[in-house]
């Protein structure tokens, strides 16, 4: 069965960087995109971007351009999302979600990783 297992909660200081991992299993990792979505406390979902694990190609939401980097390690079927120059309003739960390369289909989601930014 398809599973996306994310890394554990993080606490970071303003200005630091965080790197969240998402390990995929139960399907061919390079056959599907990986999207990253975040949700601030009490707020809605926000699409951050996606990576094509096959080519490494990325699309980032304009809001995060220059601060976010999405990468992958195909040898261990793991996608990564790194966010730099953290601010307090980056405090959120970060999710990975599998996406179909044909049309826009986000089907399976990770359990989420809470990133807290606090001095």
Partner 1 sequence: QTVVTQEPSLTVSPGGTVTLTCASSTGAVTSGYYPNWFQQKPGQAPRALIYSTSNKHSWTPARFSGSLLGGKAALTLSGVQPEDEAEYYCLLYYGGARVFGGGTKLTVL
Residue ranges that bind partner 1, judged by CB under 8 A: 35, 37, 44-47, 50, 59, 61-62, 95, 97, 100, 103-112
Smaller CB separation from partner 1, 15 or 26: 26
Least distance (Å) from partner 1 to the CB of residue 106? 6
- Percent of the chain as helix, strand, coil, to the nearest 5: 10, 50, 40
Q: How far is CA 54 from the centre of its chain?
A: 16
Q: What is the smallest separation between the CB atom of 110 and partner 1, expressed in angstroms?
A: 7
Q: Which is nearer to partner 1, 89 or 103 (CB)?
A: 103
Cβ 91 to partner 1, closest distance in Å? 17
DSSP string, 8-48: --EEE-TT--EEEEEEEESS-GGGSEEEEEEE-TT--EEEE
- Cα(104)–Cα(11) distance, rounded to whole angstroms? 32
Nearest CB to partner 1, comparing residues 22 and 86: 22
């Amino acid at each position: 069965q398809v599973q996306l297992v994310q890394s554990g909660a993080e606490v970071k200081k303003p200005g630091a960087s965080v790197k969240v991992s998402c390990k995929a299993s139960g399907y061919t990792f390079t056959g599907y995109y990986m999207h990253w979505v975040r949700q601030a406390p009490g707020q809605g979902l926000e699409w951050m971007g996606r990576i094509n694990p096959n080519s490494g190609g990325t699309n980032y939401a304009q809001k995060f351009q220059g601060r976010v980097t999405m990468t992958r390690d195909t040898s261990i079927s793991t996608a990564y999302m790194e966010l730099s120059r953290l601010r307090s309003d980056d405090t959120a739960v970060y999710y990975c979600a599998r996406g179909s390369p044909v049309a826009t289909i986000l089907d399976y989601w990770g359990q989420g990783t809470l990133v807290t930014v606090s001095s």
